[in-house]
């Protein structure tokens, strides 16, 4: 059974938001009743496991909370990411020259967190007020590029699987699903195949992009893949763990006596083993340092920012903290909060996402974004996906090495107050790739103020953003946009 529910008035030229080979459902206007019927049919397909994505007219014609639509086009709908997987996307056209500006695919990490957060709270065209109204982001990345926000993998946000199987691993997400979703996008929007293509990811997205890039490079020559970017990604779990204690000490989180103990029992001849030591004295010191970081109320995503949830346990936060020193499996117990207003499921404890939850789960918003009625409420991070996700790749260096030989440009950047994926680990990772240095470590500027530091290598750049936490476009939006434009235009970050 093929399902396709459309509004015939929304078919516009080359932007045909419908899968090839499908028949149009008879009718003149897509009313709520016909949309409901389409959703019921899709629900039947879901229960039968036939794997055909729910389709509606993807063009967004109104947005609740926004008085007037902007002067750029935007679409929200579904991309086929396998026989039984349907990925929700929101595509915003460039405010400049969409026909020639780059196309950027944006993926969030987690694993299991939604890219809608990035569209509505980081680098997208909108921000949400507490009352549910929208306002425009003056530093939106679609000022200079077409941006495709994809909720991946299935089970994240409004993406779903008709088989309801949400057990997945790194390889499946990296290559098979995201690549098929990208191919599905070009089927809907064929004119964009001629644009330069970039993939930008954040956090655990560091796993998704290198192999996806390799798949694109080895795929159809018609895709002009030019480069990728990893923001605050844990590209090497080993290097991240090795540098976290150094980061903690020099940011005043552990005292000098504990630091001396760590160096005495875990270091020898200038080399430290903070991640894989079997000595009891070293392990005890590392555990003590870990307890100074985890569960005390620090915002691990932005050290100098307040923590919305303060102290206490929350599943998403615990999942993120478990990335640190995972080999030791400390599992430090922290009591659950009992006070009213505790963080909602799937929200990292130090992040306030109430306005986003309320807005994305409104019925009129779901209809405007063409979300089928059979799907459950939207969550920022899916506990279902996270709990079943199988991590396979602890070091992404081999993938980087392969792509750097394919004339692909790469940017690795870190906010320098992020503890979850600290900048020292990112810097050491890029340095270990042994690329020729083109520009030595140097400050870069925004409005004549130091915005961070960078070092350029052949084909790859490492860059820090001063005073920013884990989500750079959220904490330093203007600086992030300059960084973004400089990378796309291949110009210096000065």
Domains of the chain (ranges, CATH numbers):
1-54 (no CATH), 237-352 (3.40.50.1820), 415-489 (3.40.50.12670)
What is the C-alpha to C-alpha distance for residues 302 and 314, in angstroms, rounded to an integer? Answer: 17
Collapse the DSSP code of 463 into the 3-class scheme (helix H, G, I; strand E, B; otherwise coil) and give the result: strand
Asked if residue 417 lies in contact with residue 429, where contact means CB atoms within 8 angstroms, the answer is no
Q: Which two tokens stand for residue 152?
A: 């991946």
Predicted local distance difference test score (pLDDT) of residue 147:
98
Residue 380 vs residues 63, 154, 190, 351, 429: alpha-carbon distances, Å: 20, 13, 30, 10, 29
Name the CA radius of gyration of the chain, rounded: 23
Asked if residue 154 lies in contact with residue 371, where contact means CB atoms within 8 angstroms, the answer is no
241 assigned to active site: no
Q: Which two tokens stand for residue 380?
A: 């920022």
Predicted local distance difference test score (pLDDT) of residue 412:
96
152 assigned to active site: no
Q: What is the mean pLDDT of each run of 10 residues along the chain (494 residues)?
A: 33 31 32 44 39 72 91 96 91 97 91 90 92 92 98 91 76 75 93 94 77 80 88 87 89 92 85 78 85 78 76 55 59 43 54 81 95 92 77 80 88 94 95 95 96 96 96 95 97 86
Predicted local distance difference test score (pLDDT) of residue 151:
95
Output the pTM of the full model. 0.83
Q: Which of 14, 22, 90 is nearest to 53 (CA)?
A: 22
Q: Which two tokens stand for residue 287?
A: 């555990």
Matching residue, tokens 């509606």 = 56
Predicted local distance difference test score (pLDDT) of residue 344:
52
Q: Which of 177, 418, 468, 486 is catalytic?
A: 418
Asked if residue 29 lies in contact with residue 11, where contact means CB atoms within 8 angstroms, the answer is no
Q: Which of 118, 285, 470, 486 is catalytic?
A: 470
Predicted local distance difference test score (pLDDT) of residue 14:
31
- In this structure, the dihedral spanned by the alpha carbons of residues 21, 25, 29 and 34, taken in order and rounded to 10 degrees, is -120
Predicted local distance difference test score (pLDDT) of residue 84:
85
Predicted local distance difference test score (pLDDT) of residue 326:
60
Predicted local distance difference test score (pLDDT) of residue 337:
43
pLDDT tens figures, 84-105 = 889 999 999 999 999 999 999 9
Collapse the DSSP code of 457 into the 3-class scheme (helix H, G, I; strand E, B; otherwise coil) and give the result: strand
- Centre a 10 Å sphere on the Cβ of residue 158 and count the other Cβ atoms it contains: 25
Contacts of 85 (CB under 8 A, 6+ apart): 51, 153, 154, 159, 160, 161, 162, 177
Q: How many CA atoms lie within 13 A of 463 on its CB side?
A: 28
Which DSSP letter does residue 112 get?
Answer: T
Q: Which of 203, 266, 277, 382 is catalytic?
A: 203
Burial of 72 from C-beta contacts in 10 A (0-12 / 13-18 / 19+):
middle
486 assigned to active site: no
pLDDT tens figures, 170-180 = 666 656 788 99
Matching residue, tokens 């005292």 = 255
Predicted local distance difference test score (pLDDT) of residue 46:
40
């Amino acid at each position: 059974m093929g399902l396709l529910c459309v509004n015939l008035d929304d078919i516009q030229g080359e932007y045909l938001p419908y899968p090839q080979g499908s028949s149009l459902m008879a009718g003149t206007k897509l009313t709520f009743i016909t949309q409901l019927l389409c959703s019921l049919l899709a629900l039947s397909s879901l229960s039968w496991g036939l794997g055909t994505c729910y389709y509606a007219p993807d063009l967004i014609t109104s947005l609740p909370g926004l008085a007037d639509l902007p002067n750029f086009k935007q679409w929200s709908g579904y991309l086929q990411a396998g026989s039984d997987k349907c990925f929700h996307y929101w595509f915003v056209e460039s405010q400049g020259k969409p026909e020639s500006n780059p196309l950027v695919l944006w993926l969030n990490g987690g694993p299991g967190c939604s890219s809608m957060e990035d569209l509505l709270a980081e680098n997208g065209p909108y921000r949400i007020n507490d009352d549910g109204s929208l306002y425009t982001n003056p530093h939106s990345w679609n000022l200079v590029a077409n941006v495709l926000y994809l909720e991946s993998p299935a089970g994240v946000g409004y993406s779903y699987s008709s088989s309801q199987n949400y057990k997945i691993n790194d390889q499946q997400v990296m290559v098979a699903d995201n690549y098929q979703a990208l191919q599905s996008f070009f089927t809907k929007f064929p004119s964009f195949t001629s644009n330069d293509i970039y993939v930008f990811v954040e956090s655990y997205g560091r796993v998704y992009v290198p192999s996806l890039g390799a798949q694109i490079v080895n795929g159809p020559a018609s895709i002009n893949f030019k480069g990728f970017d990893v923001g605050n990604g844990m590209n090497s779990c080993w290097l991240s763990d090795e540098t976290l204690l150094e980061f903690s000490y020099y940011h005043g989180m552990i005292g000098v006596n504990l630091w001396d103990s760590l160096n005495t029992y875990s270091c020898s001849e200038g080399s430290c083993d903070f991640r894989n030591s079997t000595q009891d004295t070293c392990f005890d010191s590392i555990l003590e340092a870990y307890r100074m970081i985890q569960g005390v109320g620090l915002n691990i995503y932005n050290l100098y920012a307040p923590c919305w949830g303060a102290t206490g346990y929350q599943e998403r936060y615990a999942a993120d903290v478990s990335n640190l020193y995972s080999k030791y499996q400390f599992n430090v117990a922290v009591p659950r909060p009992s006070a009213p207003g505790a963080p909602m499921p799937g929200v990292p404890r130090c992040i306030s996402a109430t306005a986003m939850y309320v807005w994305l789960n409104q019925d009129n918003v779901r209809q405007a974004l063409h979300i089928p009625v059979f799907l459950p409420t939207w969550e920022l991070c899916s506990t279902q996906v996270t709990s079943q996700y199988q991590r396979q790749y602890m070091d992404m260096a081999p993938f980087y090495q392969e792509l750097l030989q394919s004339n692909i440009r790469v940017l690795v950047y870190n906010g320098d107050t992020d503890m979850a994926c600290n900048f020292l680990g990112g810097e050491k990772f890029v340095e270990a790739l042994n690329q020729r240095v083109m520009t030595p470590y140097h400050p870069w500027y925004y409005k004549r103020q130091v915005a961070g530091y960078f070092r350029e290598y052949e084909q790859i750049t490492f860059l820090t953003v001063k005073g920013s936490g884990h989500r750079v476009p959220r904490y330093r939006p203007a600086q992030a946009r300059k960084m973004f434009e400089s990378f796309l235009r291949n110009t210096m970050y000065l």
